[in-house]
Amino acid sequence: MRLKKITTLLLALQLIVPLTLADTIIGKLYFSTDVNPYIERAGDRKVFSLVATDEIIQYVRSIPNVSKSYLLFHGDINDEQSALKINKTPRLLSGHLKTSGTLRYSNKSQGFYLETDKEEIDVVFSPGKKTSGYSFDNLSKAFYIDREVTVLIDQGNGQNVITAIIPADIYTADTSRQIAPQGVHKQFEKGKRKYLLDILPEKKHSQSHHSFSAVYEFLNWRTVKPGDPALIITYSGRQGDSVLSAPGHFALGRAIVNSDLSLDGEIHNFYSTNNKKNIVAGHTSLEDYFGGITTGQTNYRPTYSLIIYGVDSGKLDTIREKMDNVFQHLHSPQSKRFGISYNCVTESWYALDAINAHPGNQQATDAPYLPDVDSSFDQILYFFSNGAELFSPRNAFSYLFKNIFQIRRDALPEIFRIDFIFHAQLPSSRPRGGAAIDDFAEMISYKRLRGRIKGGESVSRDEIRSFLESID
């Protein structure tokens, strides 16, 4: 007999290994005019007063529609005063429970259930929302049937609603569980560097349905252990249905190795506040970033990630704190217009520069505090005055990948292993995406086509499709 509701205590224990030994609370945040913000803990709905610095309070106040998201807080609980004292900003979550198991479909009940080591749990998928006429559809759900998955679940309406889902065997340090390169990706083992830089971007490979994760390089033979930290560098390609997505997307993140060698992580996601995907810029759970029912990058396009094991936790904290500055500025009235000098790449470099992780000690930018680059002349000047790795997602990822050994030598000598993950676009009715633009001609074509669309000109679907399919 399957359970209608998940054992809350069981899943709470599975939820997330804290980045510190501090207490962990997952809940929703509310504000009152006369007292500190308070947290209503998921599950038992116990209320805790939030005690934090003015900077952290300002940060959480700046998050759009913050009371609609679950937040994960690390801090110290004072039970007598029903208070939680924190010194780090929270993580954004779409669901308050997390577990892994095999997704099954019952023809008898016409419904889904999750088969775990201990129980079978009835689940439903969040309806999500349509973007550009497409959604997480039956093809997407069917892809996960009989696969081992990791999910976030919201029990807010009395059902076990899956709000995010990813394959369980991708984001793991366990080489025996990783998805080996298969199909068109078998060439990876013949020449890893060439495959990742030159072959994988080709449509035949980037539009493949096969994800894979593999060790790119052992820098010494130390074994990955529970508690080991990792830096995440991730880039998303273009969508198959949007010209505006052609440059791709870029982000940094961090992870810690769980006891079963799976990764618990978050992505520092700098994203437009004016988007149709319900994406909220901030420190976002690994599951939501890649596999949110509406917000997940792989719903729309393939992603390419480096998992860099051993980076000192203090340096990861510095990156996170710099991104705190970036997010608070983004959500403020003073936020600048997105463009060549203010985007997901420039803001990530701002954080990387803080730990000197820039080859040749070339400092990138003082974003988010640079003046806007508005005029066409200024944009062209900025383009030719800076390497494309400072503003283009694909170029930034390739640049860091090519120079990772120099970065290790100069700034991050503690790195001991590097993994590469190709997370294919999820099957759905949505057109297939692929690699993002990365050369001058593509960038100029993109700028012209984008200008026509922004200017209100009607551009045919055939012209849009032709442009997107020309990118590799």
Q: Is 172 domain-assigned?
A: no
What band does 450 get if pLDDT is binned at 50, 70 and 90? confident
**Do 64 and 106 fall into the same domain?**
no
- The string of pLDDT tens digits covering residues 251-295 is 999 999 999 999 999 999 999 888 889 899 999 999 999 999 999
Residue 74 sits in the same domain as residue 108: no
Residue with structure tokens 């997901």?
Answer: 344
User: Are residue 125 and residue 229 in the same domain, yes or no?
Assistant: no
Asked, for residue 3, whether it belongs to a domain, the answer is no
Crossing angle (nearest 10°) for helices 54-62 and 313-330: 60
The domain boundary residue, chosen from 47, 65, 93: 93
Averaged confidence pLDDT in the chain:
88
Give residue-wise pLDDT tens across range 160-213: 999 999 999 999 999 999 998 988 999 998 999 999 999 999 999 999 999 999
Residue 233 shares a structural domain with residue 371: yes
**What is the tally of structural domains in the chain?**
3
Q: What percent of the chain has pLDDT over 90?
A: 63
- What distance in Å separates the CA atoms of residue 466 and residue 320, rounded to the nearest whole number? 39
Q: Which of 135, 167, 199 is the last residue of a domain?
A: 167
The pLDDT of 58-71, averaged and rounded, is: 86
Q: How high is the pLDDT of residue 281? A: 92
175 in a structural domain? no
365-382 confidence digits (pLDDT tens) = 444 444 455 555 666 677
Are 407 and 438 found together in one domain?
yes
Q: Do 354 and 395 belong to one domain?
A: yes
Could you give the residue ranges of the DSSP H alpha helices within 47-171?
54-62, 138-144
Confidence (pLDDT) at 10: 40
Residue 74 CB-half CA count within 13 A: 11
Nearest to 247 by CA among 322, 327, 301: 301
Q: Is 418 left (phi over 0), alpha (psi -120 to 50) or beta?
A: beta
User: What is the pLDDT, as a whole number, of residue 380?
Assistant: 66
**Residues 304 and 241 occupy one common structural domain:** yes
Per-residue pLDDT reduced to its tens digit, 396-433? 999 999 999 999 999 999 999 999 999 999 999 999 99
pLDDT in tens, 333-366: 777 778 788 899 999 999 999 999 987 544 444 4
Give me the pLDDT at residue 11, please.
Answer: 46
Q: Are residues 89 and 101 in the same domain?
A: no
pLDDT of residue 36: 77
Same domain, 258 and 347: yes
| Cα–Cα distance, 50 to 73 (Å, whole number) | 10
- Give me the pLDDT at residue 376, please: 59
**For residue 32, what pLDDT is reported?**
78
Surface-to-core class of residue 57, CB atoms within 10 Å of its CB (0-12 exposed, 13-18 middle, 19+ buried)? middle
- pLDDT at res. 12: 41
Answer yes or no: is 176 within a domain. no
**Cα gap 161→150, rounded to integer Å:** 13
Per the CB < 8 A criterion, the answer to whether 105 and 2 are in contact is no
Residue 174 inside a domain? The answer is no
Domain boundary among 167, 201, 221: 167
CA distance from start to end of the chain: 50
Q: Among 231, 327, 241, 230, which Cα is nearest to 279's?
A: 327
Clarify whether residues 61 and 118 are in a common domain.
no
Please state the separation of Cα 299 from the chain's center in Å. 12
Same domain, 122 and 209: no
Residue 199 is assigned to a structural domain of this protein: yes
Task: Give the pLDDT band of residue 434 (cuts 50, 70, 90).
Answer: very high
Dump the DSSP string for 384-442.
HHS-GGGT-HHHHHHHHHHTHHHHHHHT-TT--EEEEEEEPPPPSSSPP-BPPP-SHHH
Residue 398 forms part of a structural domain: yes
- pLDDT(322) > 80: yes
More confident residue, 433 or 16: 433
Q: Is residue 177 part of a domain?
A: no
pLDDT confidence bin for 443, thresholds 50/70/90: confident
Q: What is the CATH number of the domain that holds 154?
A: 2.40.50.430
Residues 325 and 222 in one domain: yes
Q: Identify the CATH number of the domain in which residue 46 sits.
A: 2.40.50.140
Query: Which residues form the domain of 18?
Result: 8-93
How confident is the model over 43-59, as pLDDT tens digits?
889 999 999 998 898 88
